[in-house]
Structure 1
Amino acid sequence: MKMLFKSLFAATSLVTISLSMTTRAEMVRPQAVNQVDIQKYGGKWYEISHLPMYFQRKCIANITAQYSVNADQTIGVLNSCRTANDEMVSSEGVAYPQNRGNSKLKVSFLPKGLRWIPFTKGHYWVLRVDPEYKVALVGGPSNKYLWILSREPQLDEATYQSYINTAKDYGYDVTKLIKLPH
């Protein structure tokens, strides 16, 4: 009886520890980096992969983002991609810094005169960026959106996996990532 009690206690302890570790892992929310130098962040980025989303549904290749710093410290955004009919399409927007470190932005792709409308801006958080601003992981406060960006159209597998692991640590379902050619 004493041995059965010890075995039951050990099993219960293992299950409790396992559940508490899972709960802690599931509670990890995406965190933006403290600081982004928006001058260094500006320029052309190639999308290496992204989570599926409605507004990228027609893109089949060559997805890029071009960022430029405006005089008022907002960031001009020009997203482009190639569609199935071999057409290059683009969408122009503006990003508004939401913190002093410029790592949390809100982006609007509405026409200029409509950007004041509440709840029409999407989150754009820089979750990780290498010191030389060559690779970035971008998401938001939820696990709904995710992009891996690079200054080059190709990214070596070790670096890519490192950024995938960061995304996993933040609770993203990286099995759903879409990787399109350049």
Structure 2
Amino acid sequence: MRPLRLALLIALIVAATACRSGNVKPDIAPVANVDVPRFMGDWYVIAHIPSYPEREAYAAVESYALRPDGRIQTTFRFRKGSLDGPRKTMRPIGTVRPDSNGAVWDMQFVWPIQAEYVIVYLDEDYRQTIVGRSKRDYVWLMARTPDIPDTDYRARIRQIEALGYDVSKIRRVPH
């Protein structure tokens, strides 16, 4: 009887969450087009609203590589707690959504759960990017180098705020 009650409780929580309409935000707009092969390589996380595993990340680097099956092998490396902290690595798989011009991916950390990953800003030289989510819960400002000019940093933070994020939650990642 207990498993049945637990299943019913979980179903009610999921239903209540799905029916919530008070804080629904419109989908976040992706950039018009991403040349996915050009996007591959190393991206330093400059700042973010971190997910739980990232909240103590230092020297964070996200690397992308195209797999033969067309999906994207992602390797997220960081040091936990300090620049001298233990190395941590995560390896989610990205799948570019059809009809998104390369700008919307599904990232799978654990099967079968996939997380939305939207490239909302990408400079023409593929040197800086902002990746967000329609929920406005997490965001990543990344660059091809571990540091960007302060003027660029401030401009990207303004862009993140304009997307509907609470920028007081942004954490600058030490490198």
What range is the shorter-chain TM-score in?
A: 0.7 to 0.9
Amino acid at match of 1:40: R
The equivalent of 1:64 in structure 2 is 61
Name the structure where helix makes up a greater proportion of residues. 1
Larger Rg over CA atoms: 1
The equivalent of 2:79 in structure 1 is 82
Amino acid at match of 1:140: R
- 1-side partners of 2:152 and 2:63: how far apart? 22
**What are the equivalent positions in structure 2 for 1:92-171 lying under 5 Å apart?**
92-100=91-99, 101-110=101-110, 115=111, 117=112, 120-171=113-164
1:109 aligned counterpart, secondary structure: strand
Moved over 6 A (4+): none
Check 1:29–1:107 CA distance in 2 against 1; reply closer, same or farther (3 A cut).
Answer: closer
Indicate conservation of the 8 Å contact 1:47/1:65, yes or no.
yes
- 2-side partners of 1:37 and 1:104: how far apart? 12
**What are the equivalent positions in structure 2 for 1:8-19 lying under 5 Å apart?**
none
1:32 aligned counterpart, secondary structure: coil
Check 1:27–1:77 CA distance in 2 against 1; reply closer, same or farther (3 A cut).
Answer: closer
Q: TM-score, normalised by structure 1?
A: 0.77
Give unpaired runs (5+ residues) of structure 2.
1-23
1:40 aligned residue (28, 38, 41): 38
The equivalent of 2:6 in structure 1 is none
Deviations 1:58-109 (A, max 9, x none): 42x1011000011222111000110137211101111011133010000012
- 2-side partners of 1:36 and 1:50: how far apart? 21
RMSD of the TM alignment (CA)? 1.7
- 2-side partners of 1:58 and 1:151: how far apart? 21
Q: TM-score, normalised by structure 2?
A: 0.80
The equivalent of 1:3 in structure 2 is none
Indicate conservation of the 8 Å contact 1:135/1:149, yes or no.
yes
Name the structure where strand makes up a greater proportion of residues. 2
Indicate conservation of the 8 Å contact 1:29/1:170, yes or no.
no
2:33 aligned counterpart, secondary structure: coil
Give unpaired runs (5+ residues) of structure 1.
1-25
2:172 aligned counterpart, secondary structure: coil
Indicate conservation of the 8 Å contact 1:28/1:169, yes or no.
no
1:53 aligned residue (51, 54, 62): 51
The total of aligned residue pairs comes to 149
Percent of aligned pairs with the same amino acid: 23
